[in-house]
Amino acid sequence: MSVSRRALLAGAAAGAGVTGLGLVGYRVVRPRLGAGPAPVIPDAPRGDERLEQRDSAARGRRVTFYTAVPDGYGDGRGLPVCLVLHGASATADDFPGFGFGRFLTDAVRRGRPPFVLAGATGDRLSWRPSGDDDPQRMVREEIPAWCAERGFDTRRIAVWGWSMGGFGALLLAEAFPGFVRAVAAFSPAVRPGDNVFAGAARLRGTPVGLWCGRSDDFYDDVRALADALPERPVVSAYDEGGHDFGYWSTVTPAAFDFIARALAA
């Protein structure tokens, strides 16, 4: 990743208002999210949002494959891709209820370059291999192939995840330097001494965005990870909030701004 691209992203992040979100044009909803405050989801239409069943050789089973295209961009042909890695309490089937398609349209309506979302169910394996079940290989090899079948631009890929998925997103970027243009992680489930900390040096050149609520149990560890990275995160935002979509929904617009700029650069 070039220095000029990092500078571009830094400027974009500074202008995106990453430390707060005005709630005009947003609505509070209560999808199936468990405990925590209700998320705030943009009052914007979904575009082409799909849930499909795909055979994953990497996982040895059928998985739910999710895609979302911003409203107004048809089937998304030619658009770059942000891979989505879910946390331990979710699967890809939950993504429509989280409002991801609406957040995507909202980002475009706020002037951000368009991109698509793509993700699949990885279960609770921390996006690492477990015997013959390898969700990381599914993300690295199979999801891009499924996206290419749809005509998405798989030469431009970013990755975003929360909690266990934030850990997995960072781990993916470390395992395959240069594979993603940027990595965004909400409250990643990291601890000093784990695989993400051990491989942090491999993130050099990859723009990183970190968000974590100050009431989150991982708060101190996420701050420690920011300090351990070989380069300062392009975005590091720590607002009031916990480990739930009530908080994560308030920072999703800023994350989508960061991702959009990375994929367009």
CATH code for the domain of 228? 3.40.50.1820
Domain-embedded: residue 152 = yes
**Predicted confidence band of residue 37 (pLDDT cuts 50, 70, 90):** confident
pLDDT in tens, 39-70: 999 999 999 999 999 999 999 999 999 999 99
Contact between 206 and 225 under an 8 Å Cβ cutoff? The reply is no
Domain-embedded: residue 141 = yes
Mean pLDDT for the stretch of residues 182-198? 98
pLDDT in tens, 77-92: 999 999 999 999 999 9
Report the C-alpha gap between 157 and 101 in whole angstroms. Answer: 18
- pLDDT value of position 29: 41
Total tally of structural domains belonging to the chain:
1
Contact between 143 and 151 under an 8 Å Cβ cutoff? The reply is no
Report the C-alpha gap between 229 and 199 in whole angstroms. Answer: 9
Domain-embedded: residue 16 = no
Domain-embedded: residue 117 = yes
Domain-embedded: residue 21 = no
Domain-embedded: residue 18 = no
Instruction: Give the chain's count of helices (H) and strands (E).
Output: 8, 10
Let me know if 134 is exposed, middle or buried by CB neighbors in 10 A (0-12, 13-18, 19+): buried
The yes-or-no verdict on residue 212 having pLDDT over 80 is yes
The yes-or-no verdict on residue 21 having pLDDT over 70 is no
Cα-Cα-Cα-Cα dihedral sign, residues 148, 152, 153, 157: negative
Report the C-alpha gap between 135 and 132 in whole angstroms. Answer: 10
For residue 218, what are its two tokens?
């991982």
Domain-embedded: residue 24 = no
Domain that holds residue 42: 3-11+38-264
Domain-embedded: residue 7 = yes
- Pairing mode, strands 61-68 and 116-120: antiparallel
